[in-house]
Amino acid sequence: MAAYAPDAIALQLEFPDNRLMIDLVGSGGAHLAQIEQLLGVQIVHRGNALLVHGEAASEAERVLNALYARLEAGKEVSMGVIDGLIRLRDGEAEARDGDQREMFPGQGLEVRTRKKTMEPRTEAQKAYTQALLDNVLTFGIGPAGTGKTYIAVAVAVSKFIQGEVDRIILTRPAVEAGEKLGFLPGTQDDKIDPYMQPLYDALADFLPGKQLAKLREEKRVEIAPLAFMRGRTLSNAFVILDEAQNATTMQMKMFLTRLGQGSRMAITGDRSQVDLPRGVQSGLRDAEHILAGVEGISFNYFTATDVVRHPLVAKIITAYEAEDTRREAARAARLAEGRE
């Protein structure tokens, strides 16, 4: 529990609904403990009241009020939601209901599916979601854990449910991430399943299991390696290319030219995780350069601040980016001195 000075700011908050209070506090007080850890405050729970101590008591008050407002609106409160609210608390609040402040930048932008409603948690996610809704071809580029694929799948499922597209097609290059898996046994599906599992996981979050199985059987939802896209014209479909940094230049051109009437495409990738053989150019990098400024194509970028996994993931990504920058500077210095 966070320590606080005896003269530190103290606020008492009252929440009238006992049922909502249970969800606000979290199982075993987990939600309050997370707020305490992230803001450096102490929160004492007494009945329907919360007593908040600490220099960041006013910040905690806004977070708690925003969470309670979500519960009143029938929305979930989770560890990820709390982390997003706290990380975005500065400079992004809008007045609402007098002194109540809305702290979720994606508020008002929701993507509804059969199983859940997806809300953007950062400004970059909000812009990306809007781009997916508005554009025929959208790129989402940035580090792992920023929701690039997850949001694209949510939008694809939403548009499928609304009848705007007839099919959902998800694909990714079947490139091993730094280790040789050897020949896999079984059918074609058995062989490609390990590569496609992240896409299955995302779909399962938005479609009931039985419905998803039926749609796959009817080929209205397809998951296949990128190589299987050659020769196809993808009409009236929402097509997602995941891990696009591992597509070659020729594969990327092949994929982009599959776009048919009534279709939309989303391309997601992380330039720092290229698993292609040494000397092979990433098609994602080429596409950024070649397609920049083309009308109807939206490029959206994420940084470590948009990571919505464990907070430590953002620190790990930042540390690796800093080391990459240091190594590039050192190599440039060696080249300038003629030592390389």
pLDDT digits (tens, 9 = 90+) for 165-223: 999 999 988 765 444 445 555 655 666 667 678 888 889 989 998 999 999 999 999 98
Average pLDDT in the 151-175 region? 92
Residues 98, 103, 104: CA angle, nearest 5 degrees: 130
> In what helix (H) or strand (E) does residue 126 lie, and over which residues does it extend?
helix 123-134
CATH 3.30.1370.10 residue ranges in the chain? 10-102
**Domain 111-309 superfamily per CATH:** P-loop containing nucleotide triphosphate hydrolases (3.40.50.300)
Q: What are 110-149's pLDDT values in tens digits?
A: 888 888 888 888 889 999 999 999 999 999 999 988 889 9
Cα separation values, 45 from 4, 66, 68, 120, 305, Å: 16, 17, 15, 30, 31
If you search the block for the tokens 């708690």, which residue do you land on? 64
Is the pLDDT at 308 greater than 60, yes or no? yes
The fraction of the chain above a pLDDT of 90, given in percent, is: 41
In this prediction, residue 91 carries a pLDDT of 37
Is the pLDDT at 28 greater than 50, yes or no? yes
Ranked by mean pLDDT, the top range of 79-83, 195-199, 201-205, 243-247 is 243-247
Dihedral (CA of 318, 84, 31, 60) sign: positive
β-strands 42-46, 49-53: how paired?
Answer: antiparallel
Average pLDDT in the 71-76 region? 84
How would residue 309 be classed by pLDDT, with cut points 50, 70 and 90? low
If you search the block for the tokens 């000397």, which residue do you land on? 279
- pTM confidence score: 0.72
Give the burial class of 99: count Cβ atoms within 10 A of its Cβ; 0-12 exposed, 13-18 middle, 19 or more buried. Answer: exposed
CATH 3.40.50.300 residue ranges in the chain? 111-309
The set of residues, in sequence order, having a beta carbon less than 8 Å from that of 236 and lying 6+ positions away, is 165, 166, 167, 260, 261, 262, 263
The mean pLDDT value of the chain amounts to: 82
Higher pLDDT, 116 or 41: 41
Tally Cβ neighbours within 10 Å of residue 166: 13
The fraction of the chain above a pLDDT of 70, given in percent, is: 83
In this prediction, residue 76 carries a pLDDT of 82
Is the pLDDT at 40 greater than 70, yes or no? yes
**Domain 10-102 superfamily per CATH:** K Homology domain, type 1 (3.30.1370.10)
In this prediction, residue 140 carries a pLDDT of 96
Is the pLDDT at 44 greater than 80, yes or no? yes
